Amino acid sequence: MASFVRNTLIAGLAVGTVCNAVAVHRNTSGGDSWHRFVRSPSNPIVKPHSILSANTTGDFTNPNGLLGGNGNPTVMTRKEGDMSPSLIVDFGQDVVGIVTISFAGSTNSTEGFPGLKLAFSETQQYLTNTSDFTRSDNLPAGSKITNGTDQIAVANDPYTWRDLTGCQHGTKVCSDGLHGFRYMKIWLDALESDAPYTQSYGSVSISNVELEWSAYMGTPDTFTGWFECSDEDLTQWWFDGVYTTDMVTDVFLANETDPRDSASPTLQGKQVIFDGAKRDRDPYDGDLAVSALTSYLSHDFPEAARNVLADLADHQRADGWIPPASIDNYTLDLYDYPMWWVVSTADLVMYTGDTDFATQYYDVMKKVLDDYYGQNLTSTGGLLDKENGYGDYAFLPRSGPITYYNALYVHALKAAAHLADILGNGADSKTWISRASEVSAKLLARNWDPAVGAFFDGGPCPNEPEGTICDVHAQDGNGLSVLSGAVNSTIATSLLDYYGKNTSRPYGNAFYDNDSLQAGFSERVYAFISYFELAGRFATAGAAGSAFEEIKRLYGWMSTHDPEITFWEGIGAGGSPYEEGFTSMAHGWSTGIVPLMSNYVLGIQPTGPGFKTWQICPVVDGGDLTWARGQVGTPQGPIKVSWQKQSDGIFEMQIDTPEDTTGVICVPTSGSKNAQLVVDGKQVKGTTNASTIGPIATSGENFKVLSAKGGSHTISVRV
Ligand SMILES: *[C@@H]1O[C@H](CO)[C@@H](O)[C@H](O)[C@H]1NC(C)=O
Ligand SMILES: *[C@@H]1O[C@H](CO)[C@@H](O)[C@H](O)[C@H]1NC(C)=O
Ligand SMILES: *[C@@H]1O[C@H](CO)[C@@H](O)[C@H](O)[C@H]1NC(C)=O
Ligand SMILES: *[C@@H]1O[C@H](CO)[C@@H](O)[C@H](O)[C@H]1NC(C)=O
Ligand SMILES: *[C@@H]1O[C@H](CO)[C@@H](O)[C@H](O)[C@H]1NC(C)=O
Ligand SMILES: *[C@@H]1O[C@H](CO)[C@@H](O)[C@H](O)[C@H]1NC(C)=O
Ligand SMILES: *[C@@H]1O[C@H](CO)[C@@H](O)[C@H](O)[C@H]1NC(C)=O
Ligand SMILES: *[C@@H]1O[C@H](CO)[C@@H](O)[C@H](O)[C@H]1NC(C)=O
Ligand SMILES: *[C@@H]1O[C@H](CO)[C@@H](O)[C@H](O)[C@H]1NC(C)=O
Ligand SMILES: *[C@@H]1O[C@H](CO)[C@@H](O)[C@H](O)[C@H]1NC(C)=O
Ligand SMILES: *[C@@H]1O[C@H](CO)[C@@H](O)[C@H](O)[C@H]1NC(C)=O
Ligand SMILES: CC(=O)N[C@H]1CO[C@H](CO)[C@@H](O)[C@@H]1O
């Protein structure tokens, strides 16, 4: 989210007498030591990594030949009665695009070309004789063009086949086109229904297999922001998160997107950020609340997020509701996503400076907040009340005055109020801020559970009467109540403590503490909704340690389990992909590690549109980091931060910001009252302390807050 410090909190900088500058060892930021963490392929034609030799079966010559390296083709041969020759190509990491196969020729055994079948999977566990998921799987039986494998009739003369969506002969010999996958199984076989165009026997020579990368190519030269720290795992996960979002940043094409009535003439041909690489391949605005931040913080490419937000706003319903995506011709009923549209729109303005967008869609935003949700609020007496029939980010079976919807409403109202201030609509800002505080108070009064010290989810248990409250607590509402500032620091500390203790799993924090709503909920982890809880932890004094600990479980688990590197849509019992093979293993909404490191560990956040004003409030305690450095791109140029803890107990920070900007710098003092600050060689006194910044600004510890003009600053602290 876009957080901000109000003007009144910008402290004066009292410059004291020049004192003997403390000797420090500078570790200047810059350089390209981070290049080695970048995961993107370096060429849009991607070569496979290897053949899984243990999994090759049947009659083969030179199975590695199709890797293109040794000059001779791979030849697979099958005679009647033989088992099918089959091999598995491993691209080494999840990839997305159009597979091409160069054939050196084929031989018929009787009549007709030999057939090949292809099955794709992101994991070996779900790589069988059908793909873990393919486009036809999202179509009703009558409209599928495949039953889960792609088919090829291999011609006799050499040629290169491209995996396009469609059929070689009418409705026969069909393939589903673009795939997101790591593993591809190839075997010599034919569907009976593809006769007479293919047969299960003969011989096929393959000289090369490649992938035409279709998504954003995030090579080192495209990075306007980066991150590096003393813990190489955290550094690598930052780049893995970027790669995951790169994989879902792509052109919207009707034949490559979710086939469930998503093809939209207003999106066709435009860059968008999809939800997942394999599926659903539709751009959702709720997902952008994380994936767009990752995009802004890594590459200067805001058009993909902007296209999605504009298109969904252009499809606003008369009552103010905004569709979550183009699926079902813009009619999928999600209750929470219009609020995420507001939050994501505020992020767009704050990160990219696109105030024209805010002006153009201001009335849309007002209608969402005042008409769609505002009317509901009036009729319920003060809290948003979801009816059954509407879904949300996880299609949860819950209704009533749920904590999540109300905490998210507070979050959206505050983001909108900030935009209203920026555009000079002070009256709206006042209305929204005051509504946010009324909802916050009512939420605490109705849904707080003093027995455990956290919010109830807020709705009834299944088959219980309306108005009763089920004894379950959820991550979404609790996390957002902190991040939105709906609760004070005492309440925040209490609920974060309960939630961490009661839902900790080896692969993250579960999104419910109990299975009363649905079996398995207390074993399920969403990195998406975990992001808001984690950001809440970084923003709460004393809770940063629990954020680092949770991050290590969550991102550590995904990065070490197949397909590795990319971050999953959801994690189920035992740390498995939560919807088995259907699960997307590269989902942009799970890349919260990127904003967490850039916004909290480097501490760089916009406080005005396009970082014209900024805050730099790094969280340096709570984990085991000794240094961190990196940058965030802004329309005025990069903001660079580098901090390090010296062995002699001195903390040093170098900051480089564009000349025509201003901001506040929070200098961490680890709670010391006698901290000595030296700024650009002069001893200074900070005049504000962190407790006055409020929970959205961040804090993992105590700070001295300085106001600063753009330029380079070196700050050192002896505590
Ligand atoms: C300075 O940065 C490099 C990374 O390039 C790192 O290896 C080194 O440990 C850092 N030194 C200090 C004192 O933080
Ligand atoms: C899968 O394909 C392999 C070889 O291509 C074949 O031997 C095996 O019987 C098939 N398995 C199933 C369950 O159809
Ligand atoms: C192989 O079968 C195809 C399709 O029936 C046919 O067009 C082609 O001529 C055959 N090739 C040979 C060498 O017989
Ligand atoms: C490949 O072979 C290995 C070793 O036998 C096995 O563990 C793995 O499950 C196989 N993978 C697939 C996709 O069949
Ligand atoms: C899928 O399999 C079913 C059952 O064998 C068959 O009726 C249907 O035609 C197949 N569809 C396609 C597209 O191959
Ligand atoms: C989808 O259609 C476009 C033309 O609109 C074409 O360029 C592209 O290759 C097609 N993709 C697939 C996977 O067939
Ligand atoms: C989608 O909805 C719009 C507006 O209701 C309608 O005009 C259009 O024909 C629909 N498109 C499809 C493919 O059904
Ligand atoms: C809004 O409030 C009314 C109560 O008047 C309730 O019946 C309805 O289900 C609420 N939710 C929606 C999405 O309209
Ligand atoms: C936070 O709010 C609770 C409940 O209203 C109150 O009891 C507590 O004193 C407050 N704490 C602070 C630090 O304001
Ligand atoms: C959920 O709560 C019920 C009672 O409130 C309890 O019996 C049950 O063990 C809890 N289940 C889990 C998975 O925590
Ligand atoms: C700093 O915070 C403490 C704790 O809230 C407060 O008592 C003190 O007055 C604050 N100091 C300043 C200078 O604002
Ligand atoms: C696993 C775990 O920590 N369970 C706790 C959940 O919360 C209840 C109520 O506070 C405790 O009694 C459980 O021990």
Residue at token pair 């970027």? 242
519: left (phi over 0), alpha (psi -120 to 50) or beta: beta
Residue at token pair 């998406």? 528
DSSP 88-142: EEEEEEEEEEEEEEEEEEEEESSSSEEEEEEEEESSSTT-SSS-SS-GGGGS-GG
Strands 682-686 and 703-718 come out as unpaired
Whether residue 541 is predicted with pLDDT greater than 90 in this model: the reply is: no
Does ligand 3 lie within 6 Å of residue 109's CB atom? no
Residue at token pair 């959702």? 284
Atom 14 in ligand 2: which residue has the minimum CA distance?
Answer: 129
Provide the pLDDT for residue 686: 55
Q: Are 477 and 455 in contact (CB under 8 A)?
A: yes
Q: Say how many Å lie between the CA of residue 404 and the centre of ligand 8.
A: 16
Segment 57-66 mean pLDDT: 95
Q: Say how many Å lie between the CA of residue 446 and the centre of ligand 8.
A: 17
The fourth-level CATH superfamily of domain 607-718 is Maltose phosphorylase, domain 3 (2.60.420.10)
Does ligand 5 lie within 6 Å of residue 260's CB atom? no
> Which CATH code fits 220-599?
1.50.10.10
Write out pLDDT tens, residues 158-171.
Answer: 999 999 999 999 99
Atom 11 in ligand 1: which residue has the minimum CA distance?
Answer: 27
Pocket of ligand 12 (CB under 6 A): 452, 501-502
Length of the chain measured in residues: 719
> Which CATH code fits 44-213?
2.60.120.260
Write out pLDDT tens, residues 584-641.
Answer: 999 999 999 999 999 999 999 999 999 999 999 999 989 999 999 999 999 999 999 9
Q: Are 693 and 4 in contact (CB under 8 A)?
A: no
Write out pLDDT tens, residues 91-149.
Answer: 999 999 999 999 999 999 988 999 999 999 999 999 999 999 999 999 999 999 999 99
Provide the pLDDT for residue 110: 84
Whether residue 189 is predicted with pLDDT greater than 90 in this model: the reply is: yes
What is the C-alpha to C-alpha distance for residues 427 and 421, in angstroms, rounded to an integer? 9
Whether residue 18 is predicted with pLDDT greater than 70 in this model: the reply is: no
What is the C-alpha to C-alpha distance for residues 630 and 644, in angstroms, rounded to an integer? 12
Q: What is the number of other CB atoms lying within 10 angstroms of the CB of residue 275? A: 25
**Least confident window among 336-340, 413-417, 502-506, 673-677:** 673-677
Query: Which residues lie below 8 Å from residue 289, measured CB to CB, with a gap of 6+?
Result: 1, 340, 343, 344, 347, 589
Pocket of ligand 2 (CB under 6 A): 57, 83-84, 86, 129, 187
Q: How confident is the model at residue 2 (pLDDT cuts 50, 70, 90)?
A: very low
User: Given the CA of residue 228, which atom of ligand 1 is nearest to it?
Assistant: 4
Burial class (CB in 10 A: 0-12, 13-18, 19+), 62: middle
- Testing ligand 10's pocket by substitution, the residue of 452, 469, 471, 516 carrying the most ligand atoms inside 8 A of its CB is 516
Q: Say how many Å lie between the CA of residue 129 and the centre of ligand 2.
A: 6
Burial class (CB in 10 A: 0-12, 13-18, 19+), 224: middle
Atom 13 in ligand 4: which residue has the minimum CA distance?
Answer: 124
What is the C-alpha to C-alpha distance for residues 165 and 97, in angstroms, rounded to an integer? 12
Q: How confident is the model at residue 30 (pLDDT cuts 50, 70, 90)?
A: low
Provide the pLDDT for residue 683: 82
Q: How confident is the model at residue 679 (pLDDT cuts 50, 70, 90)?
A: confident
Provide the pLDDT for residue 670: 77
Q: How confident is the model at residue 381 (pLDDT cuts 50, 70, 90)?
A: confident
DSSP 448-470: EETTTTEE---SPPTTSPTT---
**Least confident window among 569-583, 655-669, 677-691:** 677-691
Does ligand 4 lie within 6 Å of residue 562's CB atom? no
Nearest to 484 by CA among 547, 419, 421, 406: 406
Residue at token pair 């999106």? 267
3-state secondary structure 653-713: EEEEEEEEEEEEEEEECCCCCCCEEEECCEEEEECEEHHHCCCCCCCCCCEEEEEEEEEEE
Q: Say how many Å lie between the CA of residue 524 and the centre of ligand 12.
A: 17
What is the C-alpha to C-alpha distance for residues 305 and 273, in angstroms, rounded to an integer? 6
Does ligand 4 lie within 6 Å of residue 55's CB atom? yes
Q: How far is residue 162 CA from its own chain's centroid?
A: 30
499: left (phi over 0), alpha (psi -120 to 50) or beta: alpha
Question: Which ligand is located closest to the Cα atom of residue 192?
Answer: 5
Segment 560-567 mean pLDDT: 98
Q: How confident is the model at residue 685 (pLDDT cuts 50, 70, 90)?
A: low
Question: Which ligand is located closest to the Cα atom of residue 489?
Answer: 9
Residue at token pair 């005051």? 434
Q: Say how many Å lie between the CA of residue 148 and the centre of ligand 5.
A: 10
Q: Which two tokens mark 245?
A: 């979002």
What is the C-alpha to C-alpha distance for residues 643 and 548, in angstroms, rounded to an integer? 18
CA distances from 642 to 341, 404, 508, 620 (A): 33, 36, 29, 11
Query: Which residues lie below 8 Å from residue 657, measured CB to CB, with a gap of 6+?
Result: 614, 616, 639, 640, 663, 708, 710, 711
Q: Model-level pTM?
A: 0.92
**Average pLDDT in the chain:** 92
Percent of the chain exceeding pLDDT 70 equals 93
Burial class (CB in 10 A: 0-12, 13-18, 19+), 519: exposed
Does ligand 8 lie within 6 Å of residue 387's CB atom? yes
Atom 6 in ligand 11: which residue has the minimum CA distance?
Answer: 691
Atom 5 in ligand 4: which residue has the minimum CA distance?
Answer: 54
Q: How confident is the model at residue 687 (pLDDT cuts 50, 70, 90)?
A: low
Domain boundaries defined on the chain: 44-213, 220-599, 607-718
- Testing ligand 5's pocket by substitution, the residue of 137, 191, 193, 198 carrying the most ligand atoms inside 8 A of its CB is 193
Write out pLDDT tens, residues 418-464.
Answer: 999 999 999 999 999 999 999 999 999 999 999 999 999 999 999 99
Q: Are 457 and 470 in contact (CB under 8 A)?
A: yes
Can you tell me whether residue 652 is helix, strand or coil? strand
Q: Say how many Å lie between the CA of residue 504 and the centre of ligand 12.
A: 11
176: left (phi over 0), alpha (psi -120 to 50) or beta: alpha
Q: Say how many Å lie between the CA of residue 592 and the centre of ligand 12.
A: 27
Q: Are 181 and 278 in contact (CB under 8 A)?
A: yes
Top-confidence residue, 353 or 674:
353
Q: How confident is the model at residue 5 (pLDDT cuts 50, 70, 90)?
A: very low
What is the C-alpha to C-alpha distance for residues 569 and 567, in angstroms, rounded to an integer? 7
- Testing ligand 6's pocket by substitution, the residue of 255, 257, 268 carrying the most ligand atoms inside 8 A of its CB is 255
Top-confidence residue, 15 or 378:
378
User: Given the CA of residue 379, which atom of ligand 8 is nearest to it?
Assistant: 5
Atom 10 in ligand 12: which residue has the minimum CA distance?
Answer: 452
